[in-house]
Structure 1
Amino acid sequence: PEFTMLEWYRQGADYCELMQETGELIDRVAGLTGEWQRISYVDEFNNTFGFIPKDDFETRRGLLSCFHDFKVYPGPEDEPIHEKIDRLFQTIIWPNIKRSGKFMLCEFPIPCASLSKVSADGRYAERFEAFVGELELCNGFTELVDPNEQRRRFMLEAEERRLAGKEVFPIDEELLSRLASVASPTYGNALGVDRLVMLRARAQDIDTVHLFPPSERYS
C-alpha cells in the first residue's frame, strides 16, 4: 500500500528543536495533552548492557556476549551491525519503553545513524522517532551535510548489501554534490500522515483511515 508522508526541512535548527516542533504538531492534530518524554537510546542500551555501541570490534564482541547472556538469537554472522543492535534493543529494552505513553526515542547509536549527524562528543547520532505507545509516527534528525562522511556511509552500506547478497545501488553523486551548499545545522523529518489520522480518530486499523483503502486500491 502507498502511505501518505509529510516531509519538511529547516536550515539553522537541529533535531532538538525538531522534537519540540513535532510534539506540538502531533498534540495539536491528535488532541493530546501532557509532556513528551525524551528517552535516550544509547543511555537505555548502556544501562542495560553496559556499553554504548559503536561501529568497532569491541562493540561486535560485546554484542555477541549480550546475545549469549540474554539468550537472544544473534542473527547471521554477516548481518549489519545496526541490525544486531536493534534486535537486542527490540527484544530486551523495547517491551518496557513502549509503556511510556508518548515519547521521543532519541540519541541513536552511531551505527544506526542513517543520514543523521553525529553529536559533537561522538556518543550518538542526532536522530529521533516519535511514539505514542507502540505507534511510531515519524523519523527525524539533524541532517548530515558533510559530503565526505556521507560518501563513506554510502560505501559502507553498499558493502553490507553486497555481503548480504542484496542489490547494490550506485552512490547518489548528485546528492553529494549538493550537500556542501546546505547550511549546518539543518533538520529533516518524515511523518506518517495516515498514522497521525489514525491516532486522531482513535482507530485500531490503519486501513480504516487510509486515503487509498484496500477496496479502492485493487478495484
Structure 2
Amino acid sequence: MGAVSNRASESIQPTASIRVLRHRARLLKVMRDFFDHEGFFEVETPILSIDTVVDAWLEPFVADWIPLGCNWRTDGSARYLQTSPEFAMKRLMAAGAGAIYQLGKVFRNGESGQRHNPEFTMLEWYRQGDDLQALMSTTEQLVQRVISATTALPGFTPTADSSALYDRVMDPRGFEQVTYREAFIRRLGTEVLSCSMDEIWGIASTNQLVPPPGLDLDDRDGWLNFLLAELIEPELGRGRPTFLVDYPASQAALARLSHDGLTAHRFELYLDGIELCNGYDELTDATTLRDRIREQTRIREAVGLRPLPQQSRLLTVMEKGLPPCSGNALGVDRLIMLALGLKTISEVIPFPFEIA
C-alpha cells in the first residue's frame, strides 16, 4: 500500500521545477516582445474547430459536438483539436491581417516521448509579402534573441550544453542553409531524389536500419522520411544551426513549389539534431490545395487511418484570394529545452501527458 501511495504522490508533482517555469515565463515574454517590436500583432484562433490541417501523418484528437437536448448517437458532429492554427490564421491573412503571430497550445494524437507531448506549445506566425529568405531571417533573429536572453535570466546557471549552444547560435557567420539533396550527399554520398525504391531500400539495408512497422514498401516519402530521421537529422545543426531547404515536391505540405516543380519552398530548422520549426512560402492557389487535400486523404485511407474533412473554410477563403505570404510554426517547448541546456521537454512543462 505504501508503494502505491508513493507513486501516486510522485505523479502529482510537476516534472519541471518552479525555477525552470519562471525561466520559461520570461522567455515567452521575450518571444512576444520580439514580434510586437517587428510589427506583428498577437491573435487567438479556435483550438476546437470543424476544420483541421489535413496531413496524412498528423493525427488529430476528435471531439463530439452535441447540441444541448440532442442525442449523441444521431445529432453529434466531429470537432478537431487543432494540430496547428494554420488554417484559421490564413483566414485572418486573407481578411487583411498583414502580420500576425500566435503563441498557444496545439494537439497531436499519438505523439509522446522525450521530445514530444500530445499537448504542446507552438509559436506560429505569418507576414504578407515575405518570401522564404525573409522568413528564415526572422526565424534566425528570433532564435538568437531567445538564446541571448536566456543568459540574462535571473538565477540561470549556464550548463556546458547551453553555453556551447549559445556559441553556435551566435556564430557571426549566421545560420547555414543546406538543401535536402546536399544533406544526403554529405552524409551518404548519394543523391536520393533520383533514387529508385530498390536503391532506397539498399541504403537502409547498408546502414542496418530496420523500418518501423506499417511502412509500406512502395511508400517513397515514408522511406525518405525514415532515412532522414535515422541518418541525416541527428547530424544537422551540430556546427551552426541548420536550415534544411528545398524538400521534395511530394513533401510540400502547404508550401509553393519551385519553378521546375521538383522541390518545395519549405524549410525546417535544426539545432543539435533536433527539429525546431517548419516554414513555408505559402501556397495560395485553391485548386492546388484541393488536390493536395485529396491526395493526403487518399494516403490516409490506404493505410486505414480515419478520414478527415476534404472541404474546409480555408479552401473557401483561398478561392476568393489569399495574399502572398510566408509562415512558420516553431516548437516552443523544444526551443526552451535547448536554451536552458535540458534534455527532455518534460523538464520545461509542468505536467506532461502521462500525469496530466
Query: Against the structure 1 CA distance between its residues 123 and 76, is the aligned structure 2 distance closer, same or farther, given a 3 Å change threshold?
Result: closer
1:88 aligns with 2:222: no
Give the equivalent residue in structure 1 for 2:87. Answer: none
Q: Does the aligned pair in 2 maintain the 1:45–1:51 contact within 8 Å?
A: yes
* Structure-1 residue corresponding to 2:341: 202
* Counterpart residue identity of residue 281, structure 2: T
Q: Is the 8 A contact 1:78 1:163 kept in 2?
A: no
Number of residue equivalences: 208
Inter-partner Cα distance in structure 2 for 1:83 and 1:200: 31
Aligned equivalents of 2:204 and 2:335: distance in 1?
Answer: 35
Change over 3 Å in CA distance of 1:43–1:217 after alignment to 2: same
Q: In the aligned structure 1, how far is the partner of 2:256 from the partner of 2:181?
A: 15
* C-alpha spacing 1:97/1:29, structure 2 compared with 1 (3 Å): closer
Specify the alignment match of 2:301 in structure 1: 162
**Whole-Å Cα distance in 1 between the matches of residues 353 and 298 of structure 2?**
41
Q: What is the 5 A alignment of 1:20-59? A: 20-31=137-148, 32-34=169-171, 35-45=174-184, 48-52=189-193
Q: 1:78: Cα distance to partner? A: 5.4
Letter in 2 for 1:130: L
Alignment of 1:110-125 (within 5 A): 110-125=249-264
Cα separation, 2, equivalents of 1:215 and 1:111: 33
Structure 1 counterpart of 2:128, from 11, 31, 35: 11
1:50 partner letter: E
Residue by residue over 1:117-150, the C-alpha shift from the partner in whole angstroms, topping out at 9 and shown as x without a partner, is 1112323111111111122211111111111111
Query: Which one is further off, 173-182 or 19-28?
Result: 173-182
What is the aligned-residue identity percentage?
32
Cα pair 1:67 1:88 within 8 Å, conserved? no
Q: Any unmatched runs of 5+ in structure 2?
A: 1-116, 149-168
User: 1:93 and 1:135 mapped to 2: Cα distance?
Assistant: 11
Displacement, 1:69?
Answer: 5.0
> What is residue 101 of structure 1 aligned with on the other side?
240
Match of 2:322 in 1: 182
Whether the 8 Å CA contact 1:37–1:103 is kept in 2: the answer is: yes
Task: Give the Cα–Cα distance (whole angstroms) in 1 for the partners of residues 344 and 258 of structure 2.
Answer: 37
Residues 153 and 22 of structure 1, relative CA distance in 2, 3 Å threshold: same
C-alpha distance in structure 1 between counterparts of 2:170 and 2:335, whole Å: 15
Which TM-score applies when normalising by structure 2?
A: 0.53
Partner of residue 351, structure 2: 213
- Pairwise CA distance, 1:46: 6.1
Go from structure 1 to structure 2 and tell me whether the alpha carbon gap of 1:4 and 1:114 turns closer, same or farther (over 3 Å shift): same
Give 1:29 shift. 0.7
1:67 corresponds in structure 2 to 201
Q: CA deviation at 1:22?
A: 0.2
**Cα gap change, 1:179/1:43 in structure 2, threshold over 3 Å: closer, same or farther?**
farther
User: SS at 2:225's partner residue?
Assistant: helix
Tell whether the 8 Å contact from 1:137 to 1:196 is kept in structure 2 after alignment. Answer: yes
Q: How much has 1:73 moved relative to structure 2?
A: 4.9
Q: Structure 1 regions of 5+ residues with no counterpart? A: 54-58
In the other structure, the counterpart of 1:149 is 288
- CA–CA distance in structure 1, aligned partners of residues 203 and 142 of structure 2: 41
Mapped contact 2:234–2:274 kept (Cα < 8 A):
no
Higher relative contact order (CA 8 A, sep 6+): 1
Matched residue of 1:49: which SS? coil
Alpha-carbon distance change, 64 to 173 in structure 1, aligned in 2, over 3 angstroms: same
CA distance in structure 2 between the partners assigned to 1:136 and 1:118 by the alignment? 22
Contact (CA 8 Å) 2:276, 2:330: kept in 1 or not? Answer: yes
Aligned 8 A contact 1:5 1:190 in 2: yes
How far apart are 1:30 and its partner, in Å? 1.0
Aligned counterpart for 1:77 among listed residues 217, 222, 225: 217
